[in-house]
Structure 1
Amino acid sequence: MYQGIATVSGSFTKMGLLRASQEVDFGITGYQEYTLFGHELYLTTTHISIIVVMLALIIFALVANRVIKKADPNKVPGTFLNIIEYIVEAIDNLTVANMGSKHGHKFSNYIGTLFMFILLSNLSGLFGLRPPTADYGTTLALALITFAMIHYNGFKYQKASHVTNLFKPLLLSPINIIGEIATPLSLSLRLFGNILSGTVLTGLIYGLLPKLLTLVWPGALHAYLDVFSGTIQAYVFCMLTMVFVSNTFEEE
């Protein structure tokens, strides 16, 4: 009897998962195959999402530049100009607060661009796209840029001590070296894991629920997984970037 119940239950589970996999695709899908230097490559959902996110940021930057150039300093700024000023001021305050007034303004452009790219990538799921940050190739690339920036500034401000500090004390040098190598891995895996889990969970919910319920109930799921969690992860990635880079200023 129990074996029969388990068999029926397993059948329903398999049927539900099969229906979910057939109706919802939350994996990376290749659309166009092409050959480059003898290697077969694909244009995937990640590439398409990144292109859309980049175009959105470029269009926003061009419109903002046009609005700023045409702004009259003797008139009250419009709503869009106020939004631009608020974003710039918030990013400047954030970088100065975490990296100091001497270095903070130098990194405002990078931190601001990084935050907006990650945030818009995380929110792209609201518009039917697969978030680029749910692909480890994207998050690893972002983490490696931060990793390169950390060591560039380390050699710039700490000189040779940036390397010799890894062997102080000598007994803990293996741990220090592993810690340096783990920095890009922890940065990339944290962002990747959180966004991917939200993408998979949302895909399963859409695949398992009746069509009528998917019109209403998943809204709360999107509010948490896409908006709240996506914003928090973008903030955490930028905050850790500022902390790691600012640590290289200590022995200047």
Structure 2
Amino acid sequence: MGDNLDFGAQLYFKLFEVNGQPVYLTQTIVSTWLIMLGLILVAVILRVKMRKFKEVPETKLQTTVEMIVDMINNFTISSMGPAGKKFAGYYGPLLIYIAVCNLSGLIGIRPPTADFATTLAFALITFFMIHGFGIKSKGVGYFKGFLEPFPLLLPINIIGELATPVSLSFRLFGNILGGSIIMGLVYAMFPKIVVFLGIPAVLHGYFDVFAGALQAFIFVMLSMTFVSSAME
């Protein structure tokens, strides 16, 4: 039974080669595009519905949409200060996207965030935002921070900055993959009657719903904290 367990992303077929290295269409790519298409479809439908929105909400849909937007704006401002409101348009969709990716296991889709390539891409965006906005807000003086509290710590400070995307990506990746592995082992070990009784649903509630939403929140929260600290 254990021989049938495979927690890696499946390789469907080879797309092309780069310097002799094959590039495959993977399960992660398919899952990512399915989630993206679903979110885009929802966004298009909401955009059409928004044309009928009034200044004073008259429908539950408008009330819900405005409430979500206000929550995202308030969350961003509370984490990054008033000047950070401009980042709400990025961190809001990022939070929703990562949360949906983490929760996709509930409908039988392998979470794209269970692939390190996905979480590393998110973390690298944060890494470049940290230093990009840090330089934009402080100019050349931003690099003086690498010499504090004294110049001899320059190598350690550089290593610390390089560790940021590594820690961010591994935290999200490890938690989501760990939950997927545990649920796979549960289904493999217990008889079908246990599955039929819905006992694994309790574990899904923790590993998929609670942990998935929590890890999305933590990733976005840490990202906002790092960017705002670099801009201060």
The match for 1:63 is: 45
Tell whether 2:105 aligns with 1:125: yes
State the shift of 1:61 in Å.
Answer: 1.0
Partner of 1:249: 231
Aligned counterpart, 1:225: 207
Give SS of 1:159's match. helix
For each residue in 1:212-244, what CA deviation from the matched residue of structure 2 results, as whole angstroms up to 9, or x when unmatched?
211311101110000000011000000011101
Aligned twin of 2:92:
112
TM-score normalised by length of structure 2 = 0.94
Q: What's the CA shift for 1:211?
A: 1.3
Shift of 1:25: 3.9
Identical-residue share of aligned pairs (%): 45
Matching of residue 195 in structure 1 with residue 176 in structure 2: yes
8 A Cα contact 1:95 1:104, kept in partner: yes
SS of the residue 2:110 aligns to: coil
Residue of structure 2 equivalent to 1:9: none
SS of equivalent to 1:70? coil
Q: Which residue of 1 aligns with 2:187?
A: 206
Q: 1:197: Cα distance to partner?
A: 0.4
**Deviations 1:118-167 (CA, angstroms, capped at 9, x unpaired):** 10000000010111001000000000001111111011011112112101
Deviation sequence 1:85-142 (CA, Å, 0-9, x none):
12111110011111111x2221001101110111000000001011100100000000
Deviations, residues 167-222 of structure 1 (Å, cap 9, x unaligned): 12113222211110101001001000100100111111111111121131110111
Aligned residues: 229
AA matched with 1:138? T
2-structure distance, mates of 1:57, 1:167? 44
Alignment match of 2:129 (pick from 145, 149, 152): 149
Aligned to 2:25: 43
Q: Which segment is superposed worse, 29-38 or 46-55?
A: 29-38
What TM-score, normalized by structure 1, do the two folds share?
0.87
> C-alpha separation between the residues in 2 aligned to 1:139 and 1:174?
26
Show structure 1 runs of 5+ residues with no match: 1-18
* Alpha-carbon RMSD: 1.4
Partners of 2:53 and 2:128 in 1: CA distance: 38
SS in 2 for 1:160: helix
Q: From 86, 90, 93, give the equivalent of 2:74.
A: 93
The residue type paired with residue 158 of structure 1 is K
- Give per-residue Cα distances to partners, 1:45-71, cap 9 Å, x unaligned: 101110111111111111111111122
